C-alpha cells in the first residue's frame, strides 16, 4: 500500500460547545494519511494519475473554514467522508487536533481510520 500524506494542515474554523467558542475562529490541525496506488503516476509522471494532494488540501480548507461544528469528532467524520467519497480514497487515517483547548496540554483531538486498507 502506498500512502500520500498531509502534515500539520492548519485551518481556522468555528468549533466548540461553549458560547464564547461559537463567536470566534479557532485553529484546528490535520495530519492525514491516504491510501493510494502511485505506480501509474510514477510511470507517467502526471498529476492526473495520482491523488492530487493540493486538490485535497484546497477542498478541506474550503469545507473546514466554513463549517461550524460543535465537536471535533463530527468534523473528523465529515472530513473522512469527503476523502472517501469525493477523492475515492479507499482508506484514510486522520488526526484532527485543537491546540490549546485544554489548559496545560499542547492540544487535544481525535484519530480515526475509515475505509478498508488495500
Express each pLDDT in 49-89 by its tens digit.
Answer: 999 999 999 999 999 999 999 999 999 999 999 999 999 99
pTM over 0.75? The answer is: yes
Beta pairing class for 91-97 and 2-13: unpaired
The 3-state DSSP class for residue 89 equals coil
Give the span between the Cα atoms of 17 and 99, in whole angstroms: 15
Question: Where do runs of H (alpha helix) occur along the chain?
Answer: 39-44, 53-65, 72-86
Q: Which residues of 36-53 are buried (b: 16+ CB within 10 A; e: fewer)?
A: beeeebeeeeeeeebbeb
Active site residue 10: no
Residue tagged active-site, from 10, 54, 98, 116: 98
Domains of the chain: 2-115 (3.30.1130.10)
H/E element holding 95?
Answer: strand 91-97
Please state, as a whole number, how many other Cβ atoms lie within 10 Å of the Cβ of residue 66.
9
4-55, pLDDT tens digit by residue? 999 999 999 999 999 999 999 999 999 999 999 999 999 999 999 999 999 9
C-alpha closest to that of 96 among 81, 82, 107, 83: 107
Give me the pLDDT at residue 38, please.
Answer: 94
Amino acid at each position: 500500500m502506498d500512502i500520500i500524506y498531509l502534515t500539520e494542515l492548519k485551518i481556522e474554523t468555528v468549533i466548540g460547545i461553549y458560547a464564547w467558542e461559537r463567536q470566534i475562529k479557532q485553529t484546528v490541525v490535520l495530519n492525514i494519511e491516504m491510501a493510494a496506488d502511485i505506480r501509474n503516476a510514477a510511470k507517467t509522471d502526471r498529476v492526473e494519475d495520482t491523488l492530487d494532494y493540493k486538490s485535497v488540501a484546497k477542498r478541506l480548507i474550503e469545507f473546514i473554514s466554513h463549517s461550524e461544528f460543535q465537536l471535533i469528532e463530527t468534523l473528523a467524520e465529515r472530513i473522512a467522508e469527503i476523502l472517501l467519497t469525493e477523492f475515492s480514497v479507499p482508506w484514510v487515517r486522520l488526526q484532527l487536533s485543537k491546540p490549546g483547548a485544554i489548559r496545560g496540554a499542547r492540544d487535544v483531538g481525535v484519530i480515526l481510520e475509515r475505509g478498508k486498507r488495500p
